[in-house]
Each structure stands twice: as structure tokens, then as C-alpha cells.
Amino acid sequence: MDNHQKPSSTPHVLLFPLPLQGPVNCMLKLAELLCFNHLQVTFLNTDHVQRRLLSCTDVSSRFKRYAGHFRFETVPDGLPAGKTMTGEQIGELLDSMEAVSLPLFREIVRSSVHVSDGAQNPLTCIIADGAFGFAVDIAAEFGVALMYFDTISPCGLWSILSANRLIQAGDFPFKDDDLDAPVTSVPGMEGFLRRRDLPSFFRIPDQNDPIIQRVLREEQQMKKCHGLIFNSFEDLEGPILSQLKTLVPRVYTIGPLHTHKKNRLVSEKGSKNDRNSTNSLWTENKSCISWLDNQPAKSVIYVSIGSLALMGKEQLLEIWHGLANSEVRFLWVQRPGSITGLDEENDGGVPLNLCRATIERGCIVSWAPQEEVLAHPAVGGFLTHSGWNSTLESIVEGVPMICLPYFADQQINSRYVGEVWKVGLDMKDTCDRDIVEMMVRDLMEKRKDEFLEKADHVAKLAKASVSKGGASYNALNCLIEDIKLMSL
């Protein structure tokens, strides 16, 4: 029998990611691992994401080896065609999906529960993004188990789910001039958490704001799920994972997923290097790898603000001056549309000294093969927006970070990087050219050995967790076995 032929009892999992780069990337990696372990997967994308994914990657041909085990389905998200998402618009996206995608999702679940049409087995389980509060009620309506895969950090999720505690303790709402006050009402984070480290929406001064109301509902919905999946590892966030288990006892901590996937697909299947298996929604510019090949070891700082954050013209120039003045080599991703306030006709271009510094020791691309960049020997630091995927990818490769968080869990991720894991510096809320220069020099020169040593230690823990017998390795096996048991 072919390795991936589908016996009639094959469990069938419906994966439904939030239609953004990070969650889609994570869920596709999980999909591939589930298919590799003989589960059947339906991957539900929005039309917009599906179009971009197919035009920027070879994802269709990659999943061909799981023929009969993997298929895409799509639903509209209700937003105008060509709309580019930014971090501030996630609430709008969720509202639109609740109005437009939810009824279609419900119909897909309804029609997949009992039907076995030869190609598709009845639905065993749904794995939905943690932001889809509606999914747990739909799953319950049709008697299907639902697990939430929260693709943000566990520390981020735990602080979000602590909204009620923050309100009770008077830690939220608060005023902007009180950002350094300590927060003691999030269990497990006493002693290092300040108001400025809380996820960005806690800076909204009104607890009746729709975003805060959504956050408060999330805790109730989450409690009803069958299990929680995280892209993290026990050695990194053990204490916070214990807290989360008080809310949802069944937690599967299976990250770092991209390393896991490489390990399993490469070692067990003997397939070639997996670095080309991108799930990017932008076309990767590989020329930066040739540029890196010509730079000395650990000499380059990689700069990227991820897939959603926007940078104003003033901030762009402050960072650029800081990088140029530090005299350190840099590789910078300037995503199309990510820089606001640029008036190309009247701005007169970029100052000459910045152009010179870029020509002499810089490289700018519109989108990079980030996992490959971070694994490159020339990269010695990462100036990042502290998105969870970027943070984890940097941790795995032992690359110390300078954190410049924008929104959502990024504020708390950066606090953990600087204060708890000590694998970098937190620049939060203070980005000017002198600070950029000072931090780049600290990370790449003055305190280089100290940061590299610490980052290397944490990277080893990450890699051990997904190696045979490691905690994440075992958790993934446990997840697969639990899903198989559901289909008996």
C-alpha cells in the first residue's frame, strides 16, 4: 500500500487559519505534519490568501505527494479585493469574517460531518485559529471536537486572557503617562511586567471598546475547546503554559513548528533540505542570500517588521540613520506598502549619506526568505517587530534580537526577549537614531559574546524539544494519537 493511501478510518481534520501570513504559515506546517502522519486534511483559506499563496509559492506541487490526503477549500472574507491588511485592521477583518465567512464555515462543517464520499472521510476534528471565537459553538452544534491553535505566543495569549483580572485589579484601563507602572495581576508575570509590556490593545483607554469586549469574550470561548495548540516549547514558556492549563487542561505545545517539520520530513522521509518550502504571501527575493554569502560571519543585522506593521517616514529615517551611524552591515526588508507618509515627488529622495552607507554595507529587499536568512552564518542580529513567528525563528537560529514592537502580542514578546530570556534588547516606544545606533553597537559589538552565548543556549533547548524524545516531539505525537482516537 502507498504510504499515503487512505484507509476508511483515516481521521479527517479541518484546519482554519486567520487569513494572515503568520497563522497561515504555521497552519500549513502543521497540515504537512498531519498528512505525513497519514491524517486527512482540509485546509480552509480565504479567497484572498489562497490567490496570493498560489501565486507566490509552489505549495500545490509540494502537497501533491499527499494526494487524497490534502485539499484546499476557500471562503470569502467579505473584504474588498486587493485590500492590504495592516495590524490595526484585524478587528475589521474578524468582524467581516463573522458576517461573511462564518455561515459558509458552518455549512462546510455541516456537510462534512456525516458524509463519506469516497474521497473524503467524515470530519473528526477542527483546528481553528484562537481568534475565531465562533468556531467552538459551530463545532459543538455538529458534535465535532474543536481545538484552538493560537499562533501568537503563549505569554501573549495568557496576558490577553487575563483581561478580567487586569480590570479587577485596576491595572486596566490606564493613562498613557503611567506606562511604567508595574502590573501584578497577571499570574506568572509578577516582577517584570509593566503596563507598556501588555498587548497593545490594553492601551485603549476604554474597557467598553469593541476590541476589549472581543478580548473578554475570547476567554469564555476558549474554555469550551477540546484542546489548545501552541507554536512554542516547554523550556521557553513552561510557567506560562502551566497557567494556561488551568483554563484549558489539554495543551499541546509542539513548536518550533518549522524546525519540527524539517526534522520529521527530512530525517524520516529522507527528503532533501526543506528550506525552499515557503508559505510566503509575497514573492521572496533570493538575491539577498548571495549578498549574505559575501559578508563575514555574524557581521550583518537583519531588519524586518513582518507582514502587517507599518512604518512612518520619520521612523524609517531614524532607523536608517541609526544603522548608518553604527557602521554595521545590514539586510533590510522594506515590504511593499509598509512605509507610510512618503511623498516621492516632494521628498527629494533619501539623504546622500544613507544612500552611501546602503551601497557600501547594506542590502534592501522587498521580501526575504526569512528562515534561510536567519540561519545564514553572516547574520549576527535581528532588528525585529517581535511578531511571534519571527521571534521563534530567531530563537531557533540563536540570533540575538533588538525588539521594536508595534501591536498585539509584540509588546509582551519583546519584554520576554529582553527581560526573561535575555536574548536581546527591548527598544519598545523609544526609536530614535541614537538609540538605534547604541543598541546595534551593543548587540553586534560591545555585548556580542554575552548575547550570542545566551541565544545559543536557548537555541539548543529549542532544537532539543523537537528532536526524538523532546517535549515538543512527544506533544506532536500525542496530538496525532488523540485525533486518531477521536475517529474510532
Q: Binding residues for ligand UDX, per CB under 6 A?
A: 20-22, 25, 87, 152, 280, 304, 306-309, 333, 367-368, 370-371, 387-390, 393, 408-410
Q: In the bound complex, what is the minimum distance in angstroms from residue 469's beta carbon to ligand UDX?
A: 27
Looking at residue 337, its amino acid is G
**35 vs 368, beta carbon nearer ligand UDX:** 368
* Closest approach of ligand UDX to the CB of residue 401, in Å: 11
One-letter amino acid identity for 240? I
Look-up of cell digits 501568537: 152
Question: What is the distance between the alpha carbons of residues 357 and 12, in angstroms, rounded to a whole number?
Answer: 54
Nearer to ligand UDX, 26 or 145 (CB): 26
The alpha carbon dihedral of 42, 265, 464, 284 has a sign of: negative
Residue nearest to ligand UDX (CB): 387
Q: Shortest gap between Cβ of 25 and ligand UDX (angstroms)?
A: 5
Q: How far is the CB of 64 from ligand UDX (least distance, A)?
A: 23
Closest to ligand UDX by CB, 254 vs 308, is 308
In the complex with ligand UDX, the residue whose CB is nearer, 157 or 452, is 157
| CB-nearer residue toward ligand UDX: 290 or 346 | 290
Contacts of 116 (CB under 8 A, 6+ apart): 8, 122
Nearer to ligand UDX among residue 124 and residue 410 (C-beta): 410
Q: Cis omega (within 30 of 0) on the bond before 17?
A: no
Name the minimum Å distance from CB 309 to ligand UDX: 6
Q: How far is the CB of 233 from ligand UDX (least distance, A)?
A: 16
Q: Which is nearer to ligand UDX, 13 or 24 (CB)?
A: 24
Distances (CA, A) of 444 to 369, 399, 400: 22, 11, 9
Q: What nine digits make up the cell of 17? A: 487559519
Min dist CB 477 to ligand UDX, Å, is 24
- Cβ nearer to ligand UDX, comparing 134 with 367: 367
* 329-333, strands of its sheet edge to edge: 362-365, 329-333, 300-304, 379-384, 401-403, 424-426
Shortest Å, Cβ 332 to ligand UDX: 10
Of the pair 185, 366, the CB lying nearest ligand UDX is at 366
By beta-carbon proximity to ligand UDX, the closer residue of 46 and 124 is 46
* Closer residue to ligand UDX (CB): 25 or 325: 25
Residue 402's closest CA among 412, 391, 389?
Answer: 391
Residue 338 near residue 309 (C-beta atoms within 8 A): yes
CB of 481 to ligand UDX, least distance (A): 28
Minimum CB distance to ligand UDX, residue 45 (Å):
16
Collapsed DSSP state (helix, strand, coil) of residue 10: coil
- Omega cis (within 30) before 173: yes
Q: Which residues have CB under 8 Å from 447's CB, separation 6+? A: none
Complete DSSP assignment for 139-198: HHHTT-EEEEEE-S-HHHHHHHHTHHHHHHTT-SS--GGGTTSB---STT-TTT-BGGGS
Please, what is the minimum distance in Å from the beta carbon of residue 129 to ligand UDX? 10
User: Which residue matches cell numbers 525585529?
Assistant: 384
Which residue number, 388 or 451, has a Cβ lying nearer to ligand UDX? 388
The DSSP secondary-structure symbol of 227 reads E
- Residue 335: phi and psi, rounded to 5, are -60, 140
Could you tell me the smallest distance in angstroms from the CB atom of residue 284 to ligand UDX? 7
- Collect all residues with Cβ–Cβ distance below 8 Å to 313 and sequence separation of at least 6: 339, 340, 341, 342, 347
Nearer to ligand UDX, 277 or 389 (CB): 389
CA dist 221 to 110, 148, 397, Å?
A: 20, 10, 35
Give phi and psi for 304, each to the nearest 5: -155, 145
Hey, what's the cell of 206?
476604554
Under 8 Å CB-to-CB from 318, ≥6 apart: which residues? 431, 432, 433, 436
